[in-house]
Amino acid sequence: MPLSRVQIHALIAIAAAQLWLGLLWFFYWGHGIERGVILAVVLAGLIALRFVKGPTTGTGPVPAPRWLIYVAGAAVVLNIILMVVSTTHSWRTGHIPMDEGETSWRAARILDQGHDPYGAGALVDFAAFRTRLATRQTAGIGPTIPAADIDPALQRYDQHLDTRLRRKLLPAPGHATGVTSRETSVLGYKYGPLLLLATALLVPLGVPALVLLLNGMASFGLYATMWAILRRVSRGDMVLALAALIALLLDRHITRNYINRSATDVWSLLFGALGVLAFLSRKPVASAAALAVAVGCKILPGLAFFPILLRYRSTSLILVFAAILFGIYLPWLLWDARGIVSNVFLWPFLMTKDSSSWQFFVPAAVAMGSRLLALAAMAIVWLRYLTGRESRLFWTLAMSNVLLLLGSGFLRNGYVPWASLWIVAAIVEAYAEQEPDHQRTSILARGDIATS
C-alpha cells in the first residue's frame, strides 16, 4: 500500500527535525550563538506545527509496509552492536567514556568504602574541581601540592581513593566561612541517589564497563517505552509510529551520549517517559511514582515532567509524588543535608555558563532576562495545557523542553534528547488521525483517578 500524502508530510517533518538538530554536532564548543539559533528555529517550527491538523476521519489501523519494518529491525540491531562494541572497549581499557559515568563509578566506590559521596569534603566531580580551582585558591583552600602535580594526583586518587591524597587536593578550611564551606561542599556527586545505588551494586564486581552496559539497557528501556507511547499517539497508524521510532533509534544524540558514552540523563528520561505512558493509560499513582523516580535519578530533566501531574488536579497525587521523592532523598539529607543540597539541588544555579550556550556570549543581564522569559513562556505553555485550552500533550512537552534548553547557560549534546524525544512524538501527534471535537474526552475528569 503506497503512503498517503499525510504520512509523507509527517515523514518529511520527522526527517527535517532530526537532521536540523543534527547540526548541533557540527556547532558545539565555542558555537553557542549558532546553537541558540538552531534551537530558535526548532521553536519556530514547533509553533508552526501547532497549526497542522491530521485527518478527522480514517479507515482505522494502518499497517506499516514491510520495508519500514526491516529498517526498524536494522536500526535496533545497529544499537545493539553499538552497545556491545562500546561496552567491550570499556572492558578492555578499564576506561569509562565521559565524565558522567566516571563520576557515577567514583561515587559508588566512595559509598562502598562507607563515605558519603555527597558530603562536605567529598571529591567526586573532577570537572567542577578544575573549573572552581581558582575560587578555592582565592579562599585559601587550594591544593597543597604544586600546580603541575594536580592532574597526576587526581589520576592517582581516582585509582585508590586515598583519603590522605584527597586532603592534599581538597584541604579542609581552618576557619569555615560561607565561601569555604560552599566550595568544600560542591565537589561531590551531582546526580540522584537511585543512580548512585544502582551503580554501587556493580562495584563488588570491579568492572567499570558495567556502567556502560547499564546505560545501554536503560537506553533500550527508553526505546521500548517510547514505542508504546508512539503506538498510542499515532492512533493505529503504524507508518507514523514506526517512522518515529526509527528516528529515535538513529538519533545520534541518544546513541552517542547514552550508548557509546555514559551520559546519565537517559535514566531520568526513561522514568519520565514511563510516567507519561502511565498518564496516557490513566494510571495516576503509577505516573506519580515514575516521575518521582525520574527526579530521584536526576533533578533535570526529571522535574520537567512534574507539571503533568497537575492535570489531575489532585492534592493526594502530589502527596504521593512528594512522599516517594522524600523517601529517596531522606537518608542522604540525614547523613549530610548541606552536601546533597549543594551538589544536587543548588548545583544548577552554581554552574558557570559555558561556550555551548549562546548565553556565554552575551551580558549577564541579557542572559538573566532570557532565563526569566523562558520560564514565563514555559509556565504559559503548561498553563494552557493544564486548563484544557491546549489539547496536545507532546507538543506541550516539546515546547517546554526547547524553552528549557534555550534558557540554559550550558547546552551539552546529551541534553538534546530532553526535547528531541518529544519533538518526534509531537509530529506524530499533529499528523495522526484526530478525534472530532464532540467525541474528545478529557483526562481532567475526577473520576479517572478513582477508577484507574
DSSP 17-30: HHHHHHGGGTS-TT
pLDDT surpassing 70 at residue 228: yes
Q: Which residue has the higher pLDDT, 98 or 443?
A: 98
- The four Cα atoms 136, 132, 341, 29 give a dihedral, to 10 degrees, of 180
The CA-atom distances, in angstroms, between 240 and each of 14, 63, 221, 223, 231 are 9, 10, 20, 15, 9
pLDDT surpassing 70 at residue 443: no
Q: Average pLDDT of 162-182?
A: 87
DSSP 207-227: -TTHHHHHHHHHHHHHHHHHH
pLDDT of 279-294, one tens digit each?
999 999 999 999 999 9
How confident is the model at residue 83, as a pLDDT? 97
Ramachandran class of 84: left when φ > 0, alpha when ψ lies in -120 to 50, beta otherwise: alpha
**Under 8 Å between Cβ of 353 and 28:** no
Q: Which residue has the higher pLDDT, 236 or 269?
A: 269
Query: Per-residue confidence at 177, pLDDT binned at 50, 70, 90?
Result: confident
Q: Provide the β-strand partners of residue 237.
A: 62
Nearest by Cα to 10 from 241, 273, 236, 228: 241
Query: Per-residue confidence at 59, pLDDT binned at 50, 70, 90?
Result: low
Q: Average pLDDT of 395-422?
A: 96
Query: Per-residue confidence at 440, pLDDT binned at 50, 70, 90?
Result: very low
pLDDT of 291-326, one tens digit each?
999 999 999 999 999 999 999 999 999 999 999 999
State the Cα–Cα distance between residues 266 and 257, nearest whole angstrom.
9
Q: Amino acid identity, residue 346? A: L
Burial track 355-393 (b if 16+ CB lie within 10 A, e otherwise): bbbbbbebeeeebeebeeebeebbeebbeebbeeebebb
pLDDT surpassing 60 at residue 29: yes
Q: What is the pTM of this model?
A: 0.94
How confident is the model at residue 435, as a pLDDT? 65
pLDDT of 343-364, one tens digit each?
999 998 888 789 999 999 999 9
